[in-house]
Amino acid sequence: MHILLGGTGHVGSAAAQTLLERGESVTIITSKPKNVDHWQQRGANTVVVNVLHTQALHDVFRTGKRLFLLNPPAAPATDTATEERKTLASILQALDGSGIEKVVAQSTYGAQPGKHVGDLGVLYEMEQALRSMPLPVSTIRAAYFMSNWDMSLQTARQDGVVHTFYPPDLKLPMVSPGDIGQVVADLMMEPLSQTGLHYVEGPEPYSSTDVANAFANALGKPVTAVETPPEQWRSALMAVGFSPLAAESMAAMTEIVRNKAYELPTSPIRGKTTLEQYVNELVSN
């Protein structure tokens, strides 16, 4: 039995669907009851559990052998790093003695030690904690999600603008969440002896200008990438609902990505979905 913690998000949904298509048994852990019927109709078991309820989570883990671990993102109105450390601690405690034989964990490009670098620090701590546990682990470090641009559809359509915190021509490794889900499914089905760190990105790097051009082609209208300068990042984030601490963390993460102050792989796993394909599907849906 494959258990997917985070099985209803972009990545988890793709992994779950791929595993089901391969005839595998899947249990999806969700915090939202509205997701249950959809996945049960597709043949998956579904369990509604709050990840902070450690014993309930442990009981679900005991029903399976392989776990996809995605630490759920905290609401941006909170102190996101603190909240995500709480959920991570609960998940790790629930794993202890659960009988899970292998973990496939989702991390990110740029994961590194630090208390004020948001997800980058929390996911690095997750990686280190899993390494210390007596079970096989495959860790995925995923590039910048193409889905991070989903919110730009509205401004592209209404105003012909894609707002970005990056220089418009700065190319970054990006990847479709669906392609990451395919890699998750592959790693979940590998022998226990096959472990390690896996970097995943798309066919090529893309810039914010490339994103604007993709929206322009899909919408049939001019779209321009407009950069928000670093001194305005925190205020811009708080204007859309980020807490001051969450805005500080996001700004720090953005600075790291902007400066490419992180390890880049020489031979990443490459997904097949191009930015243009991703945006075209987003617009058509």
Residue 118 confidence (pLDDT) above 90: no
User: pLDDT value at position 260?
Assistant: 87
Tell me: domain 2-146+174-201+264-271, CATH 3.40.50.720, correct?
yes
Residue 210 confidence (pLDDT) above 80: yes
Q: How far is CA 13 from CA 18, 110, 181, 225, in A?
A: 8, 24, 7, 30
pTM: predicted TM-score of the whole model, two decimal places: 0.92
The pLDDT tens digits for 46-90 are 999 999 999 999 999 999 999 999 999 999 999 999 999 999 999
The pLDDT tens digits for 241-253 are 999 999 999 999 9
Residue 35 confidence (pLDDT) above 90: no
User: pLDDT value at position 80?
Assistant: 92
Cβ atoms of 74 and 80 within 8 Å: the answer is yes
Q: What average pLDDT does the chain have? A: 94
